[in-house]
Structure 1
């Protein structure tokens, strides 16, 4: 992703984030979310989520930049960080072992580094895919899931944006959001959410940022506690929480 809109800011002085244009804010929000900072919706509207996400990024760096403004130095750093997200690793999604390795590597790449955290991400993918570690669609056990969902879930916000992936990416606004983050038109081609690379990014990023339910994995599993039961709230309340906790303990032994 090239930050082409933001490069038009003043080269001589800092620009307050609140003064960025609509398109510049969209670009900033997208970059922040790609990096795992909770910038909220990609809507081009300045608000506390965007402000706090940028301030958090500034706090994580050695820059002396004001937390509510952007200049050429902080912009250059942001571009470098976005560029660093690109990886040359070729993942092997053809086997369960290869997919597990891909998930572990993606966790580390996105900053989910504790073994307990990685174990829970693996356990979730394990459960959600019925232990296949292959991206699945909602109601995958039916002969024709798409036809069933079209008939029973006709909402234009939900169909054809029903669950797909290692975890179930749902609703049009989530497809739009993640489409921007992976730079693919998921609104026009929702079936692309089944692509293993895209599904992998969604799985890990959702846990990292709390994009699924507002709860981040680090809220329940961190250096001070390991709550494999309530970590399910990152995805879907406490549905199947005990089963997934047991899977997490199994995966932890293998890490």
Structure 2
């Protein structure tokens, strides 16, 4: 993603001075980096203000109410780094594992305990394949059409991206029309982004991985609430422990 609109800011200026187009670009950039901006609508709400303040706190000291060329430049550099996915090898399980580790670090899920849990979840959700799967993958598409009332927005990916609202959300963030073509979510690079972004921001259930795993605690059992309440929580926790021992 290139920040064409924001780079015209002469700043530093208050967020309220940004145009709608500049705000939408800022919201999209922050969302791509895993900051919870809410809707990408070009409007300044509390979630957008908080997301920018969180970003400034993380990477650029200064007044969180202001935005200028230096902070925009840092944002642009991080987005450029995020786009460097061309070297990922999704043709093998080890290659996908390395891609997940890279994406976690890039999006700021950097603790070994967090990475281990994301890997364990991917292993479980993909039936050990480490390949994007469809919800009820052992069934036919006609079966899904008949049995899922939210069809065609059933689960797809390394974890299950489900419901039209979530397909709409990632369409706005990624600049791709997942609503018109939900199978875009099956592309490994897209599934990778959604997997990690969802863990960081709480897209799937409203719970973030940092709610359960941070520098002070490692709760591999309740971290399952990020995906599916506590279904198979102990099994996945044990898988996470094995990954952690190898990181």
Given the two structures, how large is their TM-score scaled by the length of structure 1? 0.89
1-structure distance, mates of 2:36, 2:30: 7
The match for 1:161 is 153
Structure 1 residues 72 and 96 mapped into 2: Cα distance closer, same or farther (>3 Å)?
closer
2-structure distance, mates of 1:108, 1:223: 15
The match for 1:250 is 242
Q: What SS does the corresponding residue of 1:60 show, helix, strand or coil?
A: helix
The match for 1:23 is 21
- Displacement after TM superposition at 1:88 (Å): 5.5
2-structure distance, mates of 1:117, 1:138: 25
The match for 2:145 is 150
Count of matched residue pairs: 247
Matched, 1:223 2:220: no
- Displacement after TM superposition at 1:74 (Å): 2.4
2-structure distance, mates of 1:5, 1:199: 28
The match for 1:197 is 189
1:105-144 equivalences under 5 Å are 105-142=102-139, 144=140
Deviations 1:204-229 (A, max 9, x none): 11112222222211111111111000
Matched, 1:82 2:74: no
Q: What SS does the corresponding residue of 1:124 show, helix, strand or coil?
A: helix
Mapped contact 1:135–1:196 kept (Cα < 8 A) = yes
Q: CA RMSD in A?
A: 1.8
The match for 2:59 is 61
Structure 1 residues 99 and 88 mapped into 2: Cα distance closer, same or farther (>3 Å)?
closer
1-structure distance, mates of 2:20, 2:151: 29
